Amino acid sequence: MLLQDGHWLGRGSLLAEGQTLGQGVSCDVDVSHDEDGFTIAAEVDIKEVGARALSVRVAANDVGTYSINVRTLAETFSGTAKLDSPPNLGLLWNEAGTTYVTFALFEVSAGYGFRGFLRDGKNTYTWEIAFSLKQNVVSGDNVVSLANRRKR
């Protein structure tokens, strides 16, 4: 599985069709696996829109792909994805069938890249976000750094 358990941080941009400058996006994401799949709890903050919470449930299905369910406060999306090998792609839609989301998830040097499109009938949006695993700082009395960090 491409995504591993942990606390992930993301930064990127969201661009609406017709705009020349994207809006900044930051994400705080927790991924946790269980025997049936995995859950993603995320807080997405879009600079000019504000923060939005979402919950994603991903579970393997009987045809070799994954079923995805995304819940926000405003809407629920369902769909399918191929996440076992590159290219990792997915398609989601809302219950009314009026909004569609496509995405690609891929490895980059320091984590994962996440790109996609959302079409709601009137508007088209695209995003690019880079995710990296948050590293916890380890400290203690018995930890000594051998690196000389002072410039002479």
Q: Name the one residue in this structure whose structure tokens are 């369902």.
A: 78
Q: Which helix (H) or strand (E) holds 3?
A: none
Query: What is the rounded distance in angstroms from the CA atom of residue 135 to the CA atom of residue 72?
Result: 27
- Within 10 A of 90 (CB to CB), how many other CB atoms are there? 20
Q: What is the pLDDT of residue 110?
A: 80
Q: What is the pLDDT of residue 151?
A: 54
pLDDT tens per residue across span 78-135: 999 999 888 999 999 999 999 999 999 999 988 999 999 999 988 999 999 999 998 7
CB 106 within 8 A of CB 116: no
CB 15 within 8 A of CB 22: yes
From the options 1.10.357.10, 3.40.50.2000, 3.30.930.10, 2.40.128.20, give the CATH code of 6-133: 2.40.128.20
> What average pLDDT does the segment 68-87 reach?
94
DSSP 3-state assignment of 83? coil
Integer distance in angstroms from the first to the last C-alpha of the chain? Answer: 46
pLDDT tens per residue across span 6-56: 999 999 999 999 888 899 999 999 999 999 899 999 999 998 889 999 999
Distance, CA of 138 to chain centre: 26
Of residues 96, 135, 102, 131, the one with CA closest to residue 119: 102
Query: What is the rounded distance in angstroms from the CA atom of residue 55 to the CA atom of residue 106?
Result: 20
